[in-house]
């Protein structure tokens, strides 16, 4: 099997990350304090309660009233790039500088912050999936490990705080209408719906 | 997911109990017909309707919320058997695809000559003026150069009736078969594979296979990005049945590799050798399902050294001879593990692992492929070779044992293939070259015998080459972006700018095609019209018009019918209001309202006549509005999940077990195993052009990005195409991450920013660039070589060099 050799770029990224991760959890907790766990698009499957109807008007699905979710406070999105400045977070500056020194700024300029350092982004609309406000290009989702869940798992605390939690809807199997202790398998690939954003990109039509 | 704690488990248990308690309330809401969750005040009064997603061939169903005629919300449809309540990020982007600020709202007529360095200039026109101009140009072209100088390039994103109306206008009206869909670039090799192996198009299995299979082998398909909701089902199977194996056979590491149990990276084009090598091992190990092969398989040898379609007017004709198993076994015996390694770079262990999966009768196996196999100068052969593995072992046409050709576009199956909008085809797998088939079509269309031209016209690549040669005088593009999506684009864009071809572009937004057009027609899209798509698993599904298109925009169907009227061919679409009346309260489309009858229903009911009783049975029109779609053949309202299998398919003669009835007339209903070999691609890296170039898509963007780049959330998720290259190659060519580079082939060059170790991680010797970005016209660089059998372009392989700008 031809395997990709990790580049020096990748290695440097990983090492910087490792150093930063602990420190950045503080920032994570600050964000988490005002996070919301709302999931307005999460439908309860009607299939188990209503026979699949031959309808012309499609019936809607409702949000489960459970669990008692944290108050759905809307957190204003960062209108400016959230990349911390050196005065705010020297370690983040180091991270950015390291990239700059090697000419390795992401060409698409994704939010250049690690998990936990970022502010919430506005959703596209009520019911749209939350966006990823931090770099995610080195996070992987494999059968044995889902990197996203190491911070975002429902009920998980990280250094005493909580990241944005995967809502309970993601644990429900629509085909059986049951909730289990594991992510519904179809939800396991977080990256199918939740994508990072390039913060300082002018709109498409400005180009 | 083994680390779920007792604490979280208790939480879930509580939540589950509460959900069950809430079910009664939900049930009341559903049956009352009110549509809005009371808990969400912003969505009060919202009306929810189903609509298939506008993008890929998966065919997810979305619930679209509208209020006061505006789209206000989109969510996954929990009643959809396809996506079971989920959507990918593009699906959520559907909310904003119609509302870009530069939406075209008026017909536009070009006022300066083409090729003007100032760029194109247009003036607004009325529909009458634009349509009369088009009709005049068509009449003039027909008079001076014959009907064969008129052409249309449509789409696997046409609704079923749009494609049907266009094919009827061209083949039954204008008198030319010069109509092709962009699906030629996308699914033609799959079609040729189905027809040559089974004598009938489209997969025998269905998505239910995902929940039955024990092993998934992906042949050059990055499903995690390109078919995310089907990948979700594969993932779900993998997570719920830990013995499930996923093998990602690929030329580059990609996101699909993450969830795969094994990644096998092979040299481009060498999949031909790998498939034969697996078959050889199965035979060597005595794992052939002899009774299945004896009863249901015929062996054939076709031509070798078939060429690459690089020359204008290239012709190919297959010469097939029937052979026996011994000859087949001798053919594949050349593909020893060592020989396969030499060609492909994969180890004997890796080949053996693949043979372990295919050869074991107890491992239910799904093969999955899309563009890696189809966009291939031996694409038809590769389709044949994958079927060979399933036929050799009898692992086919039963739950979980399923060679599954994934479709790229939302209606590549439903429109391009089933309606038959290819130059050589007619509906229901019939072809223009067959006099019986033409006669059937002429009868259904109420046309005199001899109306439909007996010879196929230009296939897609030859059509655009004919523009360069001056043979095409009118070229009409609908629901596609040919002047961004053809390979070797420089030649063809120059041809349009230089020549006297009259280009009509129907689109909702300005594109690389509209900028070359003489007339631009503002076009209603998706839920601005009533529509129907057919997805990868033979599911036909409908939606209603839910919003009004802006300005003067009209649907492609309306445009086609109006042009027909101006050509004196209005009778092709003159159905009666008494037979197909408009329905009170139904949100009829522009085409129905302006014609005074239910035009979509009229066209669909006429189209159905082609397939009923011929194993392509579609259900009556009204049934589709009431369901989440049905998989054909639909017999007495019942869909068919697994074709060719007596247990599930009523077309299989009783007592036969399996019958590949597409070949009934040819060989009594046997599938054909073809002897195909490894042949090299037409262009490979060399000293001057040392790298492979591979192109493809990204998760966030659909095709040329016309819609998705105008959705702010998708735009910001992946604004620009980048070049992914291996770090060692970056060092070798003195390139750093973030540099601008020039990628050059023998045909053209493009500038792009480098992303080392981006989402696709090519091995050394390859650069990957997605094609969605109109500012990175990678198809200026690609090669327009095609599979001689399917005529599908290979966008995946050509030789390039890179240099820092």
What's the pLDDT tens digit per position in B465-495? 999 999 999 999 999 999 999 999 999 999 9
Percent helix, strand, coil in chain B, to 5, is 35, 20, 45
> Does residue A53 belong to any structural domain of this protein?
yes
**CATH architecture entry for B691-782:** Beta Barrel (2.40)
Across the interface, do A183 and B1 touch by the CB < 8 Å criterion?
A: yes
Which A residues 19-58 touch B at CB under 8 Å? 40-41, 43-50, 52, 54-58
Q: Which positions in chain B touch A47 (Cβ < 8 Å)?
A: 78-79
According to the model, what pLDDT value does residue B76 have? 95
Q: For an interface test with A, give the residue of B17, B19, B44, B544 to mutate (most A CBs within 10 A).
A: B19
Residue B321's CB: how many other CB atoms inside 10 A? 10
Q: In this structure, what are the phi and psi dihedrals at residue B368, rounded to the nearest 5 degrees?
A: -130, 135
Using a CB–CB cutoff of 8 Å, tell me whether A176 touches chain B. Answer: no
For chain B, percent of residues with pLDDT exceeding 90: 92
Q: How far apart are CA B612 and CA B106, in angstroms?
A: 41
Q: Which residue of A has its CA nearest to B544?
A: A56
| A6 min Cα distance to partner chain B (Å) | 8
pLDDT tens, position by position, B97-153:
999 999 999 999 999 998 888 989 999 999 999 999 999 999 999 999 999 999 999
Q: Which helix (H) or strand (E) holds B281?
A: helix B271-284
Catalytic residue among B341, B409, B478, B559: B409
Q: Which positions in chain A touch B233 (Cβ < 8 Å)?
A: 186
This model of the complex carries an ipTM of 0.91
According to the model, what pLDDT value does residue A177 have? 82
Using a CB–CB cutoff of 8 Å, tell me whether A14 touches chain B. Answer: no
According to the model, what pLDDT value does residue A52 have? 34
> Does residue A3 belong to any structural domain of this protein?
no
Q: How far apart are CA B367 and CA B248, in angstroms?
A: 10
Q: Which residue of A has its CA nearest to B25?
A: A62
Residue B316 makes CB contacts below 8 A (sequence gap 6+) with: B306, B307, B309, B788, B789
pLDDT surpassing 90 at residue B185: yes
The beta-carbon neighbor of B78 closest among A2, A5, A45 is A45
Q: For an interface test with B, give the residue of A9, A60, A64, A190 to mutate (most B CBs within 10 A).
A: A60
Give which of B286, B253, B271, B288 is closest to B367, Cα–Cα: B271
> Does residue A95 belong to any structural domain of this protein?
yes
| A31 min Cα distance to partner chain B (Å) | 22
The beta-carbon neighbor of B84 closest among A175, A193, A199 is A175
**Is beta strand B474-478 parallel, antiparallel or unpaired with respect to B502-507?**
parallel
Contact between B481 and B706 (Cβ < 8 Å): yes
Contact between B767 and B776 (Cβ < 8 Å): no
According to the model, what pLDDT value does residue B41 have? 66
Q: How far apart are CA B560 and CA A45, in angstroms?
A: 41
For chain B, percent of residues with pLDDT exceeding 70: 95
> Does residue A1 belong to any structural domain of this protein?
no
pLDDT band at B258 (very low <50, low <70, confident <90, very high): very high
pLDDT surpassing 50 at residue A31: no
The beta-carbon neighbor of A189 closest among B87, B259, B345 is B259
**In the beta sheet, which residues pair with residue B47?**
B66
Mean pLDDT confidence for B528-536:
98
Residue B548 annotated among the catalytic residues of the structure: no
Mean pLDDT confidence for B85-94:
97
B16-20, B291-295, B393-397, B676-680: segment of lowest average pLDDT: B16-20
| A162 min Cα distance to partner chain B (Å) | 14
pLDDT surpassing 80 at residue A82: no
pLDDT band at A110 (very low <50, low <70, confident <90, very high): low
A154-163, B717-726, B768-777: segment of lowest average pLDDT: A154-163
| A20 min Cα distance to partner chain B (Å) | 21
Q: Which positions in chain A touch B253 (Cβ < 8 Å)?
A: 4
According to the model, what pLDDT value does residue A109 have? 56
A28-42, A159-173, B511-525: segment of lowest average pLDDT: A28-42
Q: What is the mean pLDDT of chain B?
A: 94
Across the interface, do B74 and A194 touch by the CB < 8 Å criterion?
A: no
Domain B108-186+411-631, classified CATH 3.30.450.20, yes or no: no
**Is the model's pTM score more than 0.90?**
no
Residue B794's CB: how many other CB atoms inside 10 A? 29
Across the interface, do B236 and A188 touch by the CB < 8 Å criterion?
A: yes
Per residue, the 3-state secondary structure of B61-117, as one string, reads EEEEEEECCEEEEEEECCCCCCCCCCCCHHHHHHHHCCCCCCCCCCCEEECCCCCCC
B3-12, B208-217, B474-483: segment of lowest average pLDDT: B3-12
Mean pLDDT confidence for B398-421:
98
Q: How far apart are CA B651 and CA B711, in angstroms?
A: 45
Domain B188-406, classified CATH 3.30.1360.120, yes or no: no
| Burial class for B291, CB neighbours closer than 10 Å (0-12, 13-18, 19+) | exposed
Residue B186 annotated among the catalytic residues of the structure: yes
Contact between B115 and B142 (Cβ < 8 Å): no
Q: Which positions in chain B touch A189 (Cβ < 8 Å)?
A: 224, 228, 231-232, 235, 259
Q: How far apart are CA B82 and CA B535, in angstroms?
A: 10
pLDDT surpassing 90 at residue A74: no
pLDDT band at A207 (very low <50, low <70, confident <90, very high): low
Across the interface, do A143 and B239 touch by the CB < 8 Å criterion?
A: yes
Residue range(s) defining the domain that contains residue A63: 8-207
According to the model, what pLDDT value does residue A83 have? 35
Q: Which positions in chain B touch A125 (Cβ < 8 Å)?
A: 72-73, 95
- DSSP, collapsed to helix, strand or coil, labels residue B250 as strand
Task: Please report, for residues B76, B517, B629, the alpha-carbon distance to residue B79 in angstroms, rounded to integers and kept in the order given.
Answer: 9, 42, 11
Across the interface, do A205 and B102 touch by the CB < 8 Å criterion?
A: yes
Using a CB–CB cutoff of 8 Å, tell me whether A78 touches chain B. Answer: no
Mean pLDDT confidence for A102-119:
62
Q: Which helix (H) or strand (E) holds B258?
A: helix B255-258
Q: Which positions in chain A touch B350 (Cβ < 8 Å)?
A: 1
pLDDT surpassing 50 at residue B21: no
CB pairs under 8 A between A and B: 301
**In the beta sheet, which residues pair with residue A146?**
A141
> Does residue A2 belong to any structural domain of this protein?
no
Q: Which positions in chain A touch B84 (Cβ < 8 Å)?
A: 45, 174-175, 186
A114-128, B261-275, B359-373, B696-710: segment of lowest average pLDDT: A114-128
According to the model, what pLDDT value does residue A119 have? 76
Residue B371 annotated among the catalytic residues of the structure: yes
**In the beta sheet, which residues pair with residue B405?**
B369
Using a CB–CB cutoff of 8 Å, tell me whether A155 touches chain B. Answer: yes
Number of structural domains in chain A: 1
pLDDT band at B16 (very low <50, low <70, confident <90, very high): very low
Handedness of CA B36, B37, B43, B44 (dihedral sign): positive
Q: In this structure, what are the phi and psi dihedrals at residue B692, rounded to the nearest 5 degrees?
A: -75, 145
pLDDT surpassing 60 at residue B280: yes
Burial letters A147-162, b for 16+ CB under 10 A, else e:
bbbebbbbbbebeebb
| B553 min Cα distance to partner chain A (Å) | 21
Q: For an interface test with B, give the residue of A127, A134, A157, A166 to mutate (most B CBs within 10 A).
A: A127
Where on the phi/psi map is residue A115: left (φ > 0), alpha (ψ -120 to 50), or beta?
Answer: beta
Sheet holding B519-522, edge to edge: B122-124, B108-110, B519-522, B502-507, B474-478, B150-154, B179-181
> Does residue A207 belong to any structural domain of this protein?
yes
Using a CB–CB cutoff of 8 Å, tell me whether A100 touches chain B. Answer: no
pLDDT tens, position by position, B749-760:
999 999 886 889
Q: For an interface test with A, give the residue of B78, B706, B709, B720 to mutate (most A CBs within 10 A).
A: B78
pLDDT surpassing 90 at residue B313: yes
Contact between B528 and B547 (Cβ < 8 Å): yes
| B1 min Cα distance to partner chain A (Å) | 6
| A196 min Cα distance to partner chain B (Å) | 6
> Does residue A139 belong to any structural domain of this protein?
yes
- Residue spans of the domains in chain B: they are 1-34, 108-186+411-631, 188-406, 691-782
Please work out, in degrees rounded to the nearest 5, the angle formed at the alpha carbon of residue B332 by the alpha carbons of B326 and B333.
85
Tokens 């937004």, residue? B509
| B422 min Cα distance to partner chain A (Å) | 33
Tokens 């604004």, residue? B719
According to the model, what pLDDT value does residue B603 have? 98
Q: Which positions in chain B touch A8 (Cβ < 8 Å)?
A: 727
First-last CA distance in chain B: 47
Structure tokens belonging to residue A23 = 């420190």
According to the model, what pLDDT value does residue A111 have? 60
According to the model, what pLDDT value does residue A194 have? 95
Across the interface, do A143 and B259 touch by the CB < 8 Å criterion?
A: yes
Q: Which helix (H) or strand (E) holds B665?
A: helix B664-667
Catalytic residue among B187, B204, B226, B413: B187
Across the interface, do B346 and A1 touch by the CB < 8 Å criterion?
A: yes
Q: Which positions in chain A touch B699 (Cβ < 8 Å)?
A: 191-192, 195
Contact between B520 and B111 (Cβ < 8 Å): no
Using a CB–CB cutoff of 8 Å, tell me whether A200 touches chain B. Answer: no
According to the model, what pLDDT value does residue A155 have? 85
Across the interface, do A61 and B49 touch by the CB < 8 Å criterion?
A: no
Residue B187 annotated among the catalytic residues of the structure: yes
Catalytic residue among B88, B138, B186, B226: B186
């Amino acid at each position: 099997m031809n395997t990709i050799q990790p580049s020096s770029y990748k290695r440097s990224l990983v090492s910087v990350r490792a150093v930063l991760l602990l420190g950045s959890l503080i920032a994570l907790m600050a964000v988490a304090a005002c996070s919301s766990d709302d999931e307005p698009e999460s439908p309860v499957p009607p299939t188990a309660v209503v026979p699949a109807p031959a309808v012309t008007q499609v019936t809607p699905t409702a949000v489960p009233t459970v669990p008692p979710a944290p108050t759905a406070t809307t957190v204003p999105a960062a209108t400016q790039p959230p990349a911390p400045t050196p005065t705010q977070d020297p370690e983040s500056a180091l991270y950015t500088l390291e990239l700059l020194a090697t000419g390795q700024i992401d060409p698409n300029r994704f939010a250049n912050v690690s998990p936990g350092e970022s502010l919430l982004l506005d959703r596209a609309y009520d019911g749209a999936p939350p966006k990823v406000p931090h770099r995610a290009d080195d996070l992987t989702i494999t059968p044995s490990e889902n990197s996203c869940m190491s911070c975002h798992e429902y009920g998980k605390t990280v250094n005493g705080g909580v990241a944005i939690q995967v809502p309970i809807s993601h644990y429900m199997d629509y085909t059986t209408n049951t909730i289990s202790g594991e992510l519904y398998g179809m939800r396991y690939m977080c990256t199918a719906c939740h994508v990072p954003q390039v913060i300082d990109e002018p709109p498409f039509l400005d180009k | 997911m083994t680390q779920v704690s007792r604490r979280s488990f208790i939480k879930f248990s509580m939540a589950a109990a509460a959900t069950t308690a809430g079910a009664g309330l939900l049930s009341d809401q559903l049956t009352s017909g009110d549509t809005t969750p009371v808990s969400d005040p912003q969505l009060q009064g919202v009306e929810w309707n189903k609509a298939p997603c506008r993008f890929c061939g998966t065919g997810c169903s979305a619930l679209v919320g509208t209020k006061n005629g505006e789209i206000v919300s989109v969510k996954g449809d929990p009643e959809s058997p396809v996506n079971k309540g989920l959507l990918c990020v593009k699906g959520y982007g559907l909310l904003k695809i119609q509302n870009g600020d530069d939406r075209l709202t008026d017909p536009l007529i070009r006022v300066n000559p083409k090729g003007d360095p100032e760029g194109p200039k247009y003036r607004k026109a009325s529909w009458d003026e634009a349509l009369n101009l088009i009709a005049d140009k068509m009449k003039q072209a027909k008079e001076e150069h014959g009907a064969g100088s008129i052409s249309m390039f449509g789409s696997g994103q046409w609704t079923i009736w749009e494609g049907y109306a266009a094919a009827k206008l061209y083949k039954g009206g204008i008198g030319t078969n010069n109509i092709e869909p962009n699906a030629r670039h996308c699914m033609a090799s799959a079609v040729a594979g189905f027809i040559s192996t089974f004598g009938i198009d489209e997969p025998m299995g269905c998505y239910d296979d995902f929940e039955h299979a024990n092993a998934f082998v992906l042949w050059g398909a990055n499903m995690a990005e390109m078919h995310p909701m089907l990948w979700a089902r594969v993932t779900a199977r993998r997570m719920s049945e830990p013995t499930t194996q996923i093998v990602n056979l690929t030329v580059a590491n990609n996101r699909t590799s993450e969830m795969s149990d094994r990644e096998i990276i092979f040299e481009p084009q060498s999949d031909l050798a790998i498939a034969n090598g697996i078959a050889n091992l199965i035979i060597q190990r005595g794992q052939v399902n002899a009774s299945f092969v004896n009863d249901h398989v015929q062996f054939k040898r076709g031509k070798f050294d078939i060429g690459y379609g690089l020359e204008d007017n290239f012709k190919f004709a297959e010469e097939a001879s029937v052979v026996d198993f011994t000859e087949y076994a001798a053919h594949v015996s050349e593909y020893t593990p060592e020989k396969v390694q030499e060609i492909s770079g994969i180890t004997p262990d890796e080949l053996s692992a693949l043979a372990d999966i295919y050869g074991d009768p107890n491992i239910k196996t799904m093969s999955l492929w899309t563009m890696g196999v189809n966009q291939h100068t031996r694409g038809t052969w590769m389709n044949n070779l994958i079927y060979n593995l399933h036929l050799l072992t009898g692992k086919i046409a039963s739950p979980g044992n399923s060679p599954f050709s994934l479709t790229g576009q939302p209606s590549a199956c439903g429109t391009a293939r089933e309606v038959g909008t290819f130059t050589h085809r007619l509906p229901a797998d019939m072809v223009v070259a067959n006099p019986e088939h033409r006669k059937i079509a002429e009868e259904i269309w109420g046309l005199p015998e001899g109306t439909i031209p007996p010879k196929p016209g230009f296939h897609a690549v030859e059509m655009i080459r004919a523009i360069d040669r001056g043979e095409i005088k009118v070229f009409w593009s609908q629901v596609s972006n040919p002047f961004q999506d053809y390979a070797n684009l420089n030649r063809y864009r120059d041809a349009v700018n230089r020549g006297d071809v009259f280009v009509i572009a129907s689109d909702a937004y300005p594109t690389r095609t509209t900028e070359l057009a003489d007339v631009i027609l503002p076009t209603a899209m998706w839920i601005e019209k009533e529509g129907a798509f057919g997805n990868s698993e033979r599911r036909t599904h409908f939606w209603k018009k839910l919003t009004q298109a802006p300005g003067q925009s009209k649907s492609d169907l309306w445009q086609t019918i109006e042009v027909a009227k101006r050509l004196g061919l209005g009778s092709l679409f003159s159905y009666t209001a008494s037979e197909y009346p408009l329905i009170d309260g139904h949100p009829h489309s522009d085409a129905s309202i302006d014609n005074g009858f239910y035009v979509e229903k009229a066209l669909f009911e006429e189209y159905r006549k082609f397939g009923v009783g011929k194993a392509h049975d579609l259900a009556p029109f009204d049934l589709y509005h009431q369901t989440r779609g049905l998989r054909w053949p639909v017999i007495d309202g019942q869909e068919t999940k697994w074709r060719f299998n007596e247990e599930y398919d009523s077309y299989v003669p009783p007592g036969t077990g399996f019958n590949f009835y597409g070949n009934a007339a040819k060989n009594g209903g046997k599938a054909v195993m073809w002897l195909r070999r490894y042949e090299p691609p037409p262009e490979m890296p060399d000293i001057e052009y040392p790298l492979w170039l591979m192109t493809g898509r990204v998760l966030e963007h659909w095709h040329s990005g016309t819609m998705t780049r105008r959705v702010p959330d998708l735009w910001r998720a992946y604004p620009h195409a980048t070049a992914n290259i291996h770090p060692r190659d970056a060092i070798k060519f003195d390139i750093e991450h973030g540099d601008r580079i020039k990628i050059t082939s023998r045909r053209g060059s493009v500038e792009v920013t480098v992303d080392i170790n981006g989402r696709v991680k090519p091995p050394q010797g390859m650069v990957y660039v997605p094609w969605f970005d109109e500012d990175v016209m990678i198809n200026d660089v690609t090669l327009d070589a095609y599979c001689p059998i399917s005529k599908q372009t290979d966008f995946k392989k050509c030789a390039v060099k890179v240099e820092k700008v």
